[in-house]
Amino acid sequence: MKGIIALEDGTVFEGESFGAPGESTGEVVFNTSHTGYQEVLTDPSYSSQIVTMTYPLIGNYGVNDSDIESSRVQVSGFVVKEACPYPSNFTSCKTISQYLIENGIVGVQDIDTRALTKHIRVKGAMKAVIWAGEQNISVDELIDKAKAWSGLQGLDLVKNVTCKEPYFWNEHKHSTASKSESRYSVVAFDFGIKYNILRILQSLGCDVTVVPAHSSAEQVLSYNPDGIFLSNGPGDPAAVTYAIKTIRELIGKKPIFGICLGHQLLGLALGGKTYKLKFGHRGSNHPVRNNKTKCIEITSQNHGFCVDMESLKASGAVMTHVNLNDNTCEGLKDMKREVFSVQYHPEASPGPHDSGYLFEEFISLLERKNTRAKAKMPALT
């Protein structure tokens, strides 16, 4: 089958379909990761995006049942130079083509992904339509559809990916089982949360209750958590007004740690502003400097918006990490109110583990909070 990518500026790339037939609209972006394509496909932060992989061969180790970060494939479309039809790996149970077809996702290969990526870098991420089918179709019609799509600016995509009801995380599955004996309890907002975040929190001794994005501060505090986690997610953070309001009400009541969209929402709740990046940061090889240690971390990233630190000057928050490619904010903290966050993904999946220490810093914050609380308790007589 024929496959087409039509961009809003009239640029068209034609190739061959390797996924499901059909048509989908989204923002076309690129990811520079060499591996981890299954985690990319299932990352809710890619909702409403057509992802182009810059590495030329995708699918060489197939698809398995464990390398997933959510309950389904989340991308609107997938673009590669070559989709490997004969994967080689002992865990592989299907090809990437079969995976996309099963999930109804349009995939196009035999595209000059280098040219597409360079175009996005020059012109910026833009609205697009991905199409695959046997019949002939008007390219001009596809371009018009791309132009007509509303785009991501001002669009709340969190409501499309968040869970419907609260649940306890238990062995990679949604579970209503009783909480285990753990050191700490954490409430995690699901703005599009990745499974590996929950795995890491659980491995560090946390019982994690995941709550929908629209949960109120009163509902969150009713669990009496030791700490609160703000997850990653898709879309424009400024559009998720209900979450910003809730986070603002929670600041100062419990320690808070945010990642990606959670970082942006925390910045907005502290009184700051966010803005859209030209083509975003997506990949597992982005250099970030820790301003305290001066160490450089190679990080996994997936975002199209950024916190404006100038707008937070009066808030008391400081920038903790900076992106070395474009000097944008990659982390902030306000230790007086016991909140901190990073723009990138310390849980990786895919990506390097340079930033895994941030989860341990969150646990240390919970420990200090608990120690102070115990010290204030009256002695038993």
Neighbours of 365 (CB within 10 A): 19
DSSP 8-state secondary structure symbol assigned to residue 151: -
CA dihedral 85, 88, 94, 100 (to 10 degrees): -50
Tell me which residue of 340, 259, 354, 343 sits closest to 297, measured CA to CA.
354
Q: How are strands ordered across the β-sheet holding 256-259?
A: 173-175, 167-170, 206-212, 184-190, 227-230, 256-259, 339-342, 329-334, 318-323, 273-290, 296-308
Q: What gap in Å lies between CA 289 and CA 271, rounded to an integer?
A: 24
Q: What is the DSSP string of 266-281?
A: HHHHTT-EEEEEEEEE
Q: Which of 206, 260, 306, 329 is catalytic?
A: 260
Asked if 270 and 334 count as a contact pair (C-beta separation under 8 A), the reply is yes
Q: Is 39 a catalytic residue?
A: no
Q: What are phi and psi of 15, to 5 degrees?
A: -155, -145
Q: Is 295 a catalytic residue?
A: no
Asked if 166 and 209 count as a contact pair (C-beta separation under 8 A), the reply is yes
Neighbours of 174 (CB within 10 A): 13
C-alpha angle 354/356/362, rounded to 5°?
140
Q: Which of 8, 27, 338, 347 is catalytic?
A: 347
Q: Is 347 a catalytic residue?
A: yes
Tell me the Cα Rg of the chain.
21
Q: Which of 119, 286, 303, 345 is catalytic?
A: 345
Residues 6+ apart with CB under 8 A from 378: none
Question: Could you give the residue numbers annotated as active site?
Answer: 260, 345, 347
